Structure formats: C-alpha cells, structure tokens
Structure 1
Amino acid sequence: MRILITGFDPFGGEHINPALEAVKLLPDKIAEHTIDKLEIPTVFHKSKDILVSRLKQYDYDIVLAIGQAGGRYELTPERVGINVDDARIADNEGNQPIDEPIQPNGEAAYFSNLPVKRITEAIKAQGVPSRLSNTAGTFVCNHILYQLGYLHATQFSNIKFGFIHVPFIPEQVTDKPEKPSMSLETIRKGLNAALEAIIESGDDIKVALGETH
C-alpha cells in the first residue's frame, strides 16, 4: 500500500505550521506500507494543482491531508468537505478576490471515505485528544478535502481520502494566551495512530461521534 500524506506551509503571518512539521516527523514506512510526504501551499487552487501533479506520478491507495486549526483543542478528523469553490475568495498571498467556479458540476459536498470514527477512536486510544468534526471550515483545508472528493469521483476512483486538523503548538500561542495548544510530539503520535488505523482498514465502527449542535 502506498500512502500520500500532505501538510500545508505556514500562513496567516505564522512562521511555522504544525501540520507540516508533524508530517515531517512521521515514518517513511509502517510495516510494508510506504508513506510519502508532500508540502502544499495554503493557497486556493494552487494547492490542488500540486496535489494532482503528485497523484499523476504515483499510484496511491490513500491520501490523507493535514492542516492547522488554531483554536481547536484536539486532533479532528473531518467528515465532509463542502463546495465553496464557486464563492468569491482571496488567497493568503494578498491577491485580489476572484470568481472562479472550478467544478460547476461538482457535488455540493464530498464525504471522506476513510473510517473517520475508527481513526478518531484510535487517536484517543493513544492518549491523544481527538474529536470527529463535521466542519472543515471554508478556507484552504476545506478546499483540499472537497477537491480530494472531486478527484476521487472524476479521476482517481481507487483512492481513499481524508483530512485531519491539528491544533497550534505551544510556541505559536505565546502571544495568544487564550488559544489552546498541543506539543508537536503529541500531534505526531496522534497522526501515527491515525495512519495505523487507516492501514488496518475494515468498515468504520458504528458509534455516535461528533458535535450535536
């Protein structure tokens, strides 16, 4: 099995992105399974283009994207990416907003086809806080999750895909005392548990998880 795991570069004035740093710490192999790592920009459309280029180079079984969600306390596997690519958006490089419907015929949303509940429980079993999330926001993290669903539906039907948000790390909150954080090693430990749960495969567990309001 070959797995691609992506991490975003720093954005929003930050000098570090814990998603990318944690991805760098993950092993290159788990058992006989290969783990490839890819840095992608926190920029609408450009991030998708780089991802597509890599997907065309190798035959991946699984693609797992990792992103930062400052303000969250836990690792949060995402259930769904929504289509906001036809909205008026601006990228983080300060460019002017654009109107560019990338998939006018795309679905309103795409659900991750990974066992997101099993992943959530596997992370918690390692003593790492985790919660199943029903919203990936409306920034580039959601964009990539939605694009993965669209790519699965239209070009790469063999892949399983998903997304996990991670919190700030302590050095990012020295000037944000109200924001929670998690050590980079704890994030790495949680992501490793997620990968192991994905590799184990099988149907998702039947348990009620996620927000109720």
Structure 2
Amino acid sequence: MAKSKSKPNETINSKLSTKSTRISTIDPAEQSNVVYRNPPNYFHSLPSRAKPKWTVSRCLCIQFLVLLGLVTLAAITIPIVVIVLDSISSSPPCASTYSDVFTNGITPTTAQCTAWREFKNALTCATYSKVRMYGSNDPIGITSTDSSVATALAIALRYNTTITTVLNGVTWRVGACGSGYEISATGTICSCPTGYTIRPCIGSSNWGGINSATCGAATQTMSLYFE
C-alpha cells in the first residue's frame, strides 16, 4: 500500500503559518522603537563661509573717507559757485560795448557798419548810468556817469534822433552823417575837428577818431560803452 505524501507538506505549511503569526503579532509600538546602530551619514557638512568682521575701527575708517570726500567736493564746488556769482554780479545787466579797428584811408566795411547798427539797436534798457568813449589812442577816454546824459545818448542812438547835451564841459552829440548816425564828444556832427567821434556808417574814410583827427585819422581802435 502506498504511503501518503501530504504529511511533509502539511508540516511545512504549519511551520510557515506559525512564523507568520508571530511576525504579525509584533506590537507596532515595539516596531517604532527599533534603533539603528551607526546609521549611514547621507549628508556631509558643507564648509561655512567666513563672515566679515565689521570692527569699530573699520566703520570709523569708512566714515572718515566719506567725510573726506564730501569736504573735497565742497572745496571744489564752492569756489566755482562764488566765481559764477561774482561774474554775474560784476556785470551790469545793461552793459553793452561796441569796439572795432578802423584803417587809415579805408572806408569801413559793410560788416563794420552792420555791427554798429546792431549795437545801437541793442540799447534797449530803460535807463543807463554810464557812457564811455575810448580807444587805442586813449584807453581811458571820456566818461559820463550822469544817468540822464547816458540814457539820452542811448535813446538817440537807438532811434536815430538828434540830441545835444553838455556836462562838465563836454558837449555830447548824436546826429546823422553819411548813411548812418554818429556819436561825438567834441561838440560837432559830421565835421572834422580833433577829438572824439565814432561814425562807422559814413561811407568814406572819414570814420572818426579817438583823441585824434576825426577825418582821415590814423589806424586805430574805437570803442563805445554803455551800462
């Protein structure tokens, strides 16, 4: 009679069932208390950056450099501002100068006559406090600081009108001569006395003169200033 082969299999299954029962009956709390000895180090420590050390002396040094920069900037800026303000204040708002070189025996050019007319037309201030006629023959020239005289002469030149005014023994005149108007401190208009006369638009070589002959005069610079 053949022996049954099912007993060994039953024995194996019984053992496996017993082990699985033991595993399944482990308390979850005990599972959480499992401690791993010598756990692997998955994270390597990174080298820390060196933090700057802001010492008191370094802060004071930076503040000193900033202060030094501000002082230097002020030392450069303040003189420039003073110079600009001084130049503005030293130039009267109505200051205007005419000056040109005239050559003996040569009729003034169209450009010279145009410059004279532009100068006259620019005398637009309501009042003037000073008029001065001078040149290379007399750098000091003749000056009047009487406001009424200076203003009257400026208005006459601008509007091409005739005027005569006397102050301190000097006879100032404005009048027509040639194709334009002249100014004279010699007392005559469109004549040839020795003295002070400017007439760039006469259309001939008798363009005037400063402290010299006023007809056929030697080469010189003639200037007229108002303020």
**What TM-score range do you get, normalising by the shorter chain?**
under 0.3
TM-score, reference length from structure 2: 0.22
Structure with more of its chain in strand, by fraction: 2
Structure with more of its chain in helix, by fraction: 2
Report the structure number with the largest CA radius of gyration: 2
